[in-house]
Structure 1
Amino acid sequence: MRTRYKTYADYGMLKSDEEKTRERCMKASAEERLIILQCAISAAPGLEIAIYDSITSGSGYRTLLRMGRQIPAGEDDFYAYRRKTLAEISRYMRLLGRWKE
């Protein structure tokens, strides 16, 4: 299945996990932000900075465009890679033992 068609369920995440992960990323410490950036680089090369900004600030695709960010992907692909990155962040943080839930 192509990345753009995958949902959180395809990555093994529940909707509640997605919401918790997004909230946690917006309140992340400096060390956790580094992990978020590493996951963004791994999941979405070429889009990593835009994905990182979106996840840590809660901004969407169109907001980032209005702020002057150049995003080398369409809106559907951007959100697909953001889902992939959030799933990777959740999995990685659980492996590190940072998130007990």
Structure 2
Amino acid sequence: MNLRKATLTDYGVPPDDIPALQSHFRHLDENDKYNLLQVSIKYAPGIETQIYDSIVNCIGYRTMERFRDMPVSENDFYGYKRKTMAEYYHLAKLTGRL
């Protein structure tokens, strides 16, 4: 599966858990933010801070593009964002945080 087109369900996130995951991202504590940053660094190298900020602060690509350098295209950005979210989901499930 192409990274650009892969969905959260393609990465093994059950469709029923997607709303809970999105809600979880709106209420991250410091430990969760640290874990998300680590996952971003591992799965989105080079754009880890943009991916992290997008997830934590609910900022989209086009808004972020106005005030930050975006070294990838919009499709690639959202592909990496979904990959990062899915990997964080698996980590959170494993550690009982979700």
* Same fold, judged at TM 0.5 (above): yes
Q: Contact (CA 8 Å) 1:22, 1:86: kept in 2 or not?
A: no
Aligned to 1:81: 80
RMSD between superposed Cα atoms in Å: 1.2
Between stretches 88-97 and 11-20, larger displacement belongs to: 11-20
Cα distance in 2, alignment partners of residues 17 and 59 from structure 1: 22
Q: Contact (CA 8 Å) 1:40, 1:48: kept in 2 or not?
A: yes
What is the number of equivalent residue pairs in this alignment? Answer: 98
Q: TM-score, normalised by structure 2?
A: 0.92
Aligned to 2:65: 65
Cα distance in 2, alignment partners of residues 17 and 51 from structure 1: 21
Whichever residue aligns with residue 11 of structure 2, its letter is Y
Cα distance in 2, alignment partners of residues 96 and 81 from structure 1: 22
Q: TM-score, normalised by structure 1?
A: 0.89
Cα distance in 2, alignment partners of residues 19 and 60 from structure 1: 18
Q: SS at 2:49's partner residue?
A: helix
Structure 2: which 5+ residue stretches go unaligned?
none
Cα distance in 2, alignment partners of residues 15 and 69 from structure 1: 32
Change (3 A) 1:96 1:49: same
Aligned-pair CA distance for 1:14: 2.9
Structure 1: which 5+ residue stretches go unaligned?
none
Residue identity over aligned pairs, in percent, reads: 40
Aligned to 2:19: 19
Aligned to 1:92: 91
Cα distance in 1, alignment partners of residues 19 and 39 from structure 2: 17
Aligned-pair CA distance for 1:22: 2.2
